[in-house]
């Protein structure tokens, strides 16, 4: 392969010249050489290096991580590259799972808001505070003092017991610790779909419960917080033990 100028490398790979210059600036893709006139020239190795960079970027790896991987890719056997790449991919998978879980919760909230909107009467006069379809069934006046927000679960006795049993099964075997205002569970990451389904279900009957999911490699941490006067509901759902010691 003959040496390519930056415009030619850009045309062949689809990477803008400005990006190629930036890669050189941060040390990812130095030009192989320069002409007497100062034009950058790139050889086949540089082109292969660029292909590696772009593939890693599509996986949303940071430029710092890509730089580390390039060093191994150029000097070490393939086994080493795989060993360095695997934890980076595991981290990105965890982040993608967390984003998907957040999107699933958001979708449930949007669907509930749309349902409330559809149930509003069609009127020819102006809207008033009762038309606030995003308030999840609460009167606007209840927002003045959040401590007055309804904390009663809308499930009946049998439904409530079934829901509690579902929660106990999902968190079984996980480690538990107290956090300000609630409890946190560390569980295998493969339980995330079950956790997400239960969290979405709780939005319909116990909207005062606040959930957060955080992925950490092979585990997922679910944090559940609630107003003080709803502690009994949390205890019913997931128990009241503390495994933090």
Q: What are 160-183's pLDDT values in tens digits?
A: 777 888 888 888 878 888 888 788
Q: pLDDT digits over 55-77, tens only?
A: 988 888 888 888 888 888 888 88
CATH of 4-75, picked from 3.40.30.10, 3.40.50.300, 1.20.1250.20, 1.10.1660.10, is: 1.10.1660.10
Computed over every residue of the chain, the mean pLDDT equals 79
- 131 confidence band (pLDDT: 50, 70, 90): low
Better pLDDT: 12 or 110 = 12
The pLDDT value given to residue 96: 82
- 144 confidence band (pLDDT: 50, 70, 90): very low
CA separation for the pair 111, 131 (Å, rounded): 17
> Mean pLDDT across the stretch 198-211?
81
Non-local (6+) Cβ contacts of 204 within 8 A are 112, 154
- 139 confidence band (pLDDT: 50, 70, 90): very low
Q: Three-state SS string across the chain, please?
A: CCCEEHHHHHHHHCCCHHHHHHHHHCCCCCCCEECCCCCEEECHHHHHHHHHHHHHHHCCCCHHHHHHHHHHHHHCCHHHHHHHHHHHHHHHHHHHHHHHHHHHHHHHHHHHHHHHHHHCCCCCCCCCHHHCHHHCCCCHHHHHCHHHCCCCCCCCHHHHHHHHHHHHHHHCCCEEEEECCEEEEEEEHHHHHHHHHHHHHHHHHCCCCEEEEEEECCEEEEEEECCHHHHHHHHHHHCCCCCCC
Contact 220, 189 (CB under 8 A): yes
The pLDDT value given to residue 194: 84
The pLDDT value given to residue 151: 54
* 242 pLDDT higher than 60: no
The pLDDT value given to residue 132: 56
In the chain, pLDDT over 90 holds for what percent of residues?
18
CA trace torsion 238, 214, 151, 162 (10° rounding): -40
- 231 confidence band (pLDDT: 50, 70, 90): low
- 44 confidence band (pLDDT: 50, 70, 90): very high
> Mean pLDDT across the stretch 216-242?
74
> Mean pLDDT across the stretch 102-126?
76
CA separation for the pair 31, 155 (Å, rounded): 66
| Long-range contacts at 145-153 (CB < 8 A, ≥ 24 apart) | 147/227, 149/208, 149/227, 150/208, 151/206, 151/208, 151/226, 151/227, 151/229, 151/230, 151/233, 153/205, 153/206, 153/233
| Domain definitions of the chain by residue range | 4-75, 95-238
The pLDDT value given to residue 229: 58
- Dihedral (CA of 48, 54, 57, 62) sign: positive
* 244 pLDDT higher than 70: no
Better pLDDT: 210 or 129 = 210
């Amino acid at each position: 392969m003959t040496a390519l100028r930056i415009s030619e490398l850009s045309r062949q790979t689809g990477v803008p010249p400005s990006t190629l210059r930036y890669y050189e600036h941060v040390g990812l893709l130095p030009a192989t050489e320069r002409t007497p006139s100062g034009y950058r020239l790139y050889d086949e190795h540089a082109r292969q290096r660029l292909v590696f960079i772009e593939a890693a970027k599509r996986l949303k790896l940071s430029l710092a991580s890509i730089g580390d991987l390039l060093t191994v890719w150029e000097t070490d056997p393939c086994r080493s590259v795989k060993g360095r790449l695997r934890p980076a991919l595991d981290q990105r998978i965890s982040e993608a799972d967390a984003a998907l879980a957040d999107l699933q919760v958001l979708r449930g909230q949007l669907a509930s808001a749309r349902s409330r909107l559809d149930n509003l009467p069609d009127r020819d006069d102006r809207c008033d505070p009762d038309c606030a379809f995003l308030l999840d069934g609460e009167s606007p006046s209840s927002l003045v003092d959040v401590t007055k927000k309804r904390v009663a679960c809308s499930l009946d006795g049998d439904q409530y017991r079934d829901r509690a049993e579902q929660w106990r099964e999902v968190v079984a075997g996980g480690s538990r610790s107290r956090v300000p205002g609630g409890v946190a569970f560390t569980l295998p990451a493969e339980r995330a779909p079950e956790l997400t389904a239960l969290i979405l279900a709780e939005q319909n009957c116990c909207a005062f419960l606040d959930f957060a999911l955080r992925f950490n490699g092979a585990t997922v941490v679910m944090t559940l917080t609630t107003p003080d006067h709803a502690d009994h509901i949390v205890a019913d759902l997931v128990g009241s033990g503390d495994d933090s010691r």
